[in-house]
Structure 1
Amino acid sequence: MSDSLTRRLNDEKYKNWMKTGQVLKILLDDILVPFAKKRLIEFHECLKQKDPYKKICQSCPEKKEPPTSCKTCTTWKNNILKEHSNPQRGVKWTNIDPKIWPKSIWEVAKTYMPKGQQPGVYSPDTSSVLNFILLCKIFKDKRIGDKMIKNVLQVRNAVMHSGMNISDEHFKAHVNTIKQMMNILRTCIDDTDAIAALKDVDGLLKVNIKIIDDAVKQSVSGNSTQFKQKEENLISQHFMAIDEELRSIDDAATYERMKKDFQKSLSVFFKANPDLEDFGRFKGARIGLQFEERQPIVRRRDDLDPWWGWNLPYVRPNDREMYPVAIDLELDYEYQQPIYVELGSHLL
């Protein structure tokens, strides 16, 4: 077991971060999405009935407000905005492909979401679903309350900006906030699966917190597979939240400042945990985050098996006096990073 993994297993604040992320994921997957989706399907059917044209637009561009010349998209837009609790706030048209409103329930939902979504596709996340519930009037009779939604959004933001460290005090407060939303939803939800999930809120929370505790125990016993898998899932979720946050920012100066803040905190974390560094760099590169440069990896080309060569041990630059030969540049396709490969004397 690596020293950095051992340190994380004994770091209560890091484990609190993992547990809070796990509880937020259960809230999203098992409760918020079923709750929102059922009402969204009903809303979508009402919008269809209000469309007198019954046609699918073929011409309106994505990421732009539909022109008034398109009667179909204009009808859908007007009826959707009638249910927006704050239309003056403005619709983020970069989220949307309006011509698929009649076919996609989530494309309709994205009209109420903050900037950061992609037209034509949707992968649910806590922030966007909660904003949809907050701003769409179809949920106003469901007794959730704007304050409660904003409190859970604050938990999500606190987790994202925590530097992957949450104190015991904040962990208890975060879980209590999530628990309050679960108990409120239990009184107004009618999805069968979600009802089952909410039947015992305390039990649900204990089970999902125990998942992390059991993974820690297995790692201490020598089997770290479950813990590492859970870590990577939660870190991937963390990067997705960062990506959404950055894409939602309109001001260029704010965007650069936030991006640098994320880069700094993540760089510190991955530098302290080298067993996760390659995974973190790979995930970061996908959303445009670049961490501080590290020494390039050097391998001898004549040591590389043509099929499995990338699995051979690395030769670091400080060993280059052993190989005073030319350098070629190749790409490590697993992590999409440059690898400097020694050509080997017999190839010169």
Structure 2
Amino acid sequence: MSLDFVLRVNNKDYQNWVKAGLCLSFVAEDLRPFVEEQMRDFHRDLLRGNPGLQERCEKSCPPNHVQFSKACRPCLEWKSEILKNHRQRDPKLKWGNCNPPAWRTDYWELAKAYMPQGQLRMRAANEFDASALLNLVNYCDRFPPVDVNTGPVKEMIRCRNDLMHSAKLLVTDAWMKNFKDVMARFFELFRHVPSMAQTEEKIHEALAYNISSHLLGAIVFECSSTDTVVTDGLEKGSGSLFSLENIRQREADLLQERVWEMRHRAEEDEIDTEQLTTLEHFLQTHNTPMSMPGLFTAFQLKT
């Protein structure tokens, strides 16, 4: 356990940032089975309802051909169905996420049309983060009806974006209070989803868990070289959901997601150089559990 980690996590606003990210990761993990089932059924129903979708792509259409309506007839049929089932009129979809010839056989390729930029290489349910899944649920009308601009799913997307766009990776107690309210409204919408039955409980435990109060126990643990830490009567072993070992890994996942977020924005010429500098400084001055040499090479031409 490094002193740097102890000092970093003892910052209340940074601890809030990590815990909010942990909550979003729980939402994504437990939402995936429901989303996968819905998209599998949606894909099957589209194929049954429109024979033209069952035909193979005629010329290996790239995404830009679909975007500008230069694709083959089967791919344009898929484009029409995707737009027809989008909750917004004239949506600006991220066609670059998709491999159009695979729409006929892969329901995740269909799902990616409703997600934010940066999903091209994603292939399986566990590769999609909270942002991807929430945007899919918000904009594809296969899912329970929501207000795409002010509904609970959109509010969750805004909270996730606040978190990922926080320049200093800090959020206040006031922001956390609003986040809890947003999550409560979100869970009301998905109470019927079996895979999310335990999500609220995990999130309540995560929000109540005081990382700082367990740091001393963890340090004692390292000195004694035992397999578990006992604090406040609770055993926090290395396999625990809220072990500091797991918290550190979740922190690494969050930082990785933050980096990928900035890379995707860079691809669209939307990179914020001030935020990039702040993140670079954070990773260079903190002993984070990430090993990413040459991390910022991808941004050099953008900055």
What is the TM-score of this pair, normalised by structure 2? 0.77
Give the partner amino acid of 1:8: R
Match of 1:179 in 2: 184
Match of 1:21 in 2: 21
Q: Distance in 2 between matches of 1:271 and 1:246?
A: 18
Q: Distance in 1 between matches of 2:139 and 2:266?
A: 19
Deviations 1:285-322 (CA, angstroms, capped at 9, x unpaired): 5x8357xxxxxxxxxxxxxxxxxxxxxxxxxxxxxxxx
Match of 2:274 in 1: 261
Q: Distance in 2 between matches of 1:263 and 1:205?
A: 30
Q: Percent identity?
A: 22
Would the alpha carbon gap of residues 15 and 158 (structure 1) be closer, same or farther in structure 2, given more than 3 Å must change? same
Structure 2, gaps ≥5 residues long: 223-228, 230-237
Deviations 1:124-172 (CA, angstroms, capped at 9, x unpaired): 1122222222222222536898432221112111211232222222222
* Partner of residue 288 from structure 1, selected from 264, 288, 298: 298
What is the TM-score of this pair, normalised by structure 1? 0.68
Q: Distance in 2 between matches of 1:207 and 1:283?
A: 37
Contact 1:97 1:120 in 2 (8 A): no
Structure 1, gaps ≥5 residues long: 291-348
Contact 1:236 1:283 in 2 (8 A): no
Aligned 1:129-144 pairs, distance under 5 A: 129-141=133-145
* Partner of residue 107 from structure 1, selected from 97, 100, 109: 109
Contact 1:134 1:149 in 2 (8 A): yes
Match of 2:155 in 1: 151
Match of 1:71 in 2: 73
Aligned 1:175-254 pairs, distance under 5 A: 175-186=180-191, 189-190=192-193, 192-194=194-196, 196-197=197-198, 201=200, 203-209=201-207, 213=211, 216=215, 218-223=217-222, 226-248=243-265, 252=269, 254=270
Would the alpha carbon gap of residues 131 and 227 (structure 1) be closer, same or farther in structure 2, given more than 3 Å must change? same
Match of 1:86 in 2: 88
Q: Distance in 2 between matches of 1:183 and 1:118?
A: 32
Would the alpha carbon gap of residues 215 and 36 (structure 1) be closer, same or farther in structure 2, given more than 3 Å must change? farther
How far off is 1:181 after superposition?
0.7
Contact 1:96 1:110 in 2 (8 A): yes
Contact 2:98 2:112 in 1 (8 A): yes
Aligned 1:43-82 pairs, distance under 5 A: 43-53=42-52, 54-57=54-57, 59-66=59-66, 70-82=72-84
Q: Distance in 1 between matches of 2:6 and 2:34?
A: 40
User: What is the DSSP-based 3-state SS (H/G/I as helix, E as strand, rest coil) of the residue aligned with 1:270?
Assistant: helix
Match of 1:323 in 2: none
Q: How many residues align?
A: 275
Match of 1:331 in 2: none
Would the alpha carbon gap of residues 183 and 167 (structure 1) be closer, same or farther in structure 2, given more than 3 Å must change? same
Deviations 1:171-201 (CA, angstroms, capped at 9, x unpaired): 2222332232113211xx34x332x325xx3
Q: Distance in 1 between matches of 2:38 and 2:190?
A: 13
Give the partner amino acid of 1:42: D
Would the alpha carbon gap of residues 69 and 25 (structure 1) be closer, same or farther in structure 2, given more than 3 Å must change? closer
Q: Distance in 2 between matches of 1:18 and 1:120?
A: 24
